[in-house]
Homo-oligomer: A and B are copies of this chain.
Amino acid sequence: MAIKYEFIKECKQSGARLGKLHTPHGVIETPIFMPVGTQATVKAMTPEELKDIKAQIILSNTYHLYLRPGHKLIEKAGGLHTFMNWDRPILTDSGGFQVFSLGDLRKISEEGVEFRSHLDGSKHFISPEKAVEIQNSLGSDIMMVFDECAPYPADRQYVKNSLERTTRWAKRCKEAHKNTDKQALFGIIQGGMYEDLRKQSLEELLELDFPGYAVGGLSVGEPKNLMYEVLEYTTPFMPKDKPRYLMGVGSPDCLIEGTIRGIDMFDCVLPTRIGRNGTAMTSQGKIVIKNAIHTEAFEALDPECGCYTCKNYSRAYLRHLFKANEVLGLRLLTNHNLYFLLKLMEEVRQAIREDRLLDYRNDFFAKYGYDNI
């Protein structure tokens, strides 16, 4: 077994789980947020900077790396860890979500998905077997099955067909997986916003006995309350001795609410993407640094924050860097936002340990604001 989930305790106030995930590249404390390094780099950050802000695991994208620089090149380099100089755990997605997002550029069949590259229009085919082969080349600690993610909204029959295909593909992925000692393959629960279909998906995947399970098909445009509802009728039936991963979720409120509903792992491009665009997550809510109000603001971005950016630079300086299109600006806000979310998850773990996660949530929102997420 490549990984092992160690359950530590449940929060008496909320039911959230505290645990540790043992992987070939080290131990991760859960619940955890995973910064996204789409193209073998967490945008604008070095691995050392990620370690400084206590990133424990990062995510990278199979679709992007398959197209550029190619998984075979990364394999020759010694795998993704060596290639990008990151010696802690890596989770790779399957490329499924990305190819489905290509819209007119892709054609789905039972065999797999034919698509055109967003880079040069070249034609490609990814099957469940291919998605596993690519991830085996990359050498990630945690791999994801190739799934079909239904859009939102989608009718019941469409979603049912998708989830059943996802099960068949999950089986094929499992059979194609060559490196079970060093790489764990997670199943992905689909079923859209239909309670019975989520249950069906989960039951089918449980028979295949994956070392971890993700909840897929959420954060695809549905209202947040609907996402929380799906988690409420799904996670109680997920195995207690295996990690649970909510894909594509990364706003502070969703991290806290997801944790309360029993999720252990999250990933999202949100903190890095909005950081590059000049928006910071702070203890007082979001700040758009280019706004004129910050012109002569010589205080820190977030006076309560202990990150490199907040310890060393003023809002006025950060605003200047963004107005002048300086790379240092996006570096500093990326760093701050990731620190903010990783610190948030550290506080969430502490709150679980002390059985007060609901209190923590209420305090957090009272300051962060409900309308400013």
Contacts and interface: CB of A to CB of B under 8 A. Distances in A.
A323 B85 contact: no
Given A76-B296, A85-B313, 17 more contacts: A39-B326, A40-B317, A41-B321, A41-B328, A43-B328, A44-B327, A44-B328, A69-B295, A69-B319, A69-B323, A73-B295, A77-B317, A78-B298, A83-B317, A84-B317, A85-B312, A331-B331
| Range of interface residues on A (Cβ < 8 Å) | 35 or more
Q: What DSSP secondary structure best describes chain A's contact surface?
A: loop
Give me the 7 closest cross-chain CB pairs, A-B, nearest first: A44-B327, A69-B320, A39-B324, A41-B328, A85-B312, A41-B326, A83-B317
Contacts of A326: 39, 41, 43
A312 to B, nearest CB: 5
A106 to B, nearest CB: 21
Nearest to A325: B39
A46 B331 contact: yes
Interface string A59-103: 000000000110001001110000111000000000000000000
- Oligomer: number of copies: 2
A75 to B, nearest CB: 11
Nearest to A40: B320
A47 B332 CA distance: 12
A60 to B, nearest CB: 12
A314 interface: yes
Contacts of A76: 296, 298
A77 B295 CA distance: 11
A292 to B, nearest CB: 12
